């Protein structure tokens, strides 16, 4: 069984807010932790990346995951041992394309309030729905308005699972479901969240202390029938994960 830790969990470990020993102990019980290029992307965006953070994060990744790397083979998530330094070097080799992609993500032109009003959605009510209810109500509204369902809407953004999860996160955010706090980094942060959730889809657990990301992840997993369980750190540490 594998578990995927959101980047905020690694940050909390380094800030001594979360005890790394829990993950080391769980690793002895046939539960392995993994990292992905989404962790590296967030590392490269951090302040003081080269001066102070790089060596610390590479060590944290090794201590928690043993450098078990989650990567995609089409829609399938696979795993191998990979040095995070190598992933960083690949990013640097393609830095021009990476910058272009980030600039595109930063500047989507969408009138959110107009869409919410057009669909007759109540943002406060939406945030009280669980994942199954969100899918049900959005299907009902979209079929009534446009004669297609939520899944068909998501397919407009691409047919690969990673593309579909990214579309789910964007669409839910536009509709006011656990909307991210708007700032210059919010669109990039949401793209990173969606990427973490994609790679976590190959694991048994996704652990995040970002409530917005957890709720959107549960909708995506429900929509695509993915069995990954979503927990906050406090929920995860209370699980009785026993050695098989």
Does residue 112 belong to any structural domain of this protein? yes
Q: What percent of the chain has pLDDT over 70?
A: 82
User: What pLDDT, in 10s, does the model give residues 150-191?
Assistant: 777 676 667 789 888 988 888 888 778 878 777 667 777 888
Q: What percent of the chain has pLDDT over 90?
A: 39
Does residue 243 belong to any structural domain of this protein? no
- Say if residue 106's pLDDT is above 60: no
Q: Between residues 29 and 133, which one has the greater pLDDT? A: 133
Q: What is the DSSP string of 140-201?
A: HHHHHHHS--HHHHHHTT-SSHHHHHHHHHHHHHHTTTTPPPPSTTHHHHHHHHHHHHHHHT
* SS3 label, residue 238: coil
Which candidate, 135, 153, 149, places its Cα nearest to that of 221? 135
Report residue 84's pLDDT band, with 50, 70 and 90 as the boundaries: very high
pTM of the model: 0.82
Does residue 148 belong to any structural domain of this protein? yes
Report residue 62's pLDDT band, with 50, 70 and 90 as the boundaries: very high
Domain housing 57: 2-237
- Say if residue 102's pLDDT is above 70: no
For the chain, strand residue ranges (E) read 2-5, 32-34, 68-73, 76-81, 205-207, 229-231
Does residue 60 belong to any structural domain of this protein? yes
If you ran DSSP here, which 8-state letter would residue 18 be given?
A: S
Q: Between residues 186 and 69, which one has the greater pLDDT? A: 69
Does residue 64 belong to any structural domain of this protein? yes
The pLDDT assigned to 175 comes to 79
Q: How many domains does the chain have?
A: 1
Window from 39-53, 77-91, 102-116, 192-206 with minimum mean pLDDT:
102-116
Beta-carbon-side half-sphere exposure of residue 176 (alpha carbons within 13 Å): 20
């Amino acid at each position: 069984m594998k578990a995927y830790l959101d980047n905020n969990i690694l940050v909390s470990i380094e800030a001594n807010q979360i005890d790394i020993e829990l993950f080391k102990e769980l690793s002895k019980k046939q539960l392995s932790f993994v990292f992905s290029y989404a962790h590296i992307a967030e590392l490269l965006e951090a302040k003081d990346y080269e001066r102070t953070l790089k060596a610390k994060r590479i060590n944290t990744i090794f201590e928690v995951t043993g450098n078990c790397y989650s990567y995609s083979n089409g829609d399938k998530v696979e795993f191998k041992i990979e040095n995070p330094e190598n992933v960083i070097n690949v990013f640097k080799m393609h830095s021009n394309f990476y910058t272009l992609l980030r600039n595109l993500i930063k500047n989507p032109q969408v009138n959110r309030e107009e869409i919410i009003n057009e669909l007759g959605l109540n943002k406060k009510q939406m945030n009280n729905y669980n994942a199954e209810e969100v899918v049900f109500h959005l299907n009902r509204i979209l079929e009534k308005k446009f004669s297609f369902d939520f899944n068909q809407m998501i397919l407009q953004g691409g047919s690969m699972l990673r593309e579909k999860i990214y579309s789910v996160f964007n669409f839910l955010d536009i509709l006011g479901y656990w909307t991210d706090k708007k700032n210059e980094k919010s669109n990039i942060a949401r793209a990173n969240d969606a990427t973490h959730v994609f790679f976590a889809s190959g694991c048994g657990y996704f652990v995040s202390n970002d409530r917005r990301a957890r709720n959107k992840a549960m909708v995506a997993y429900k929509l695509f029938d993915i069995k990954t369980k979503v927990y906050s750190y406090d929920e995860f540490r209370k699980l009785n994960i026993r050695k098989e």
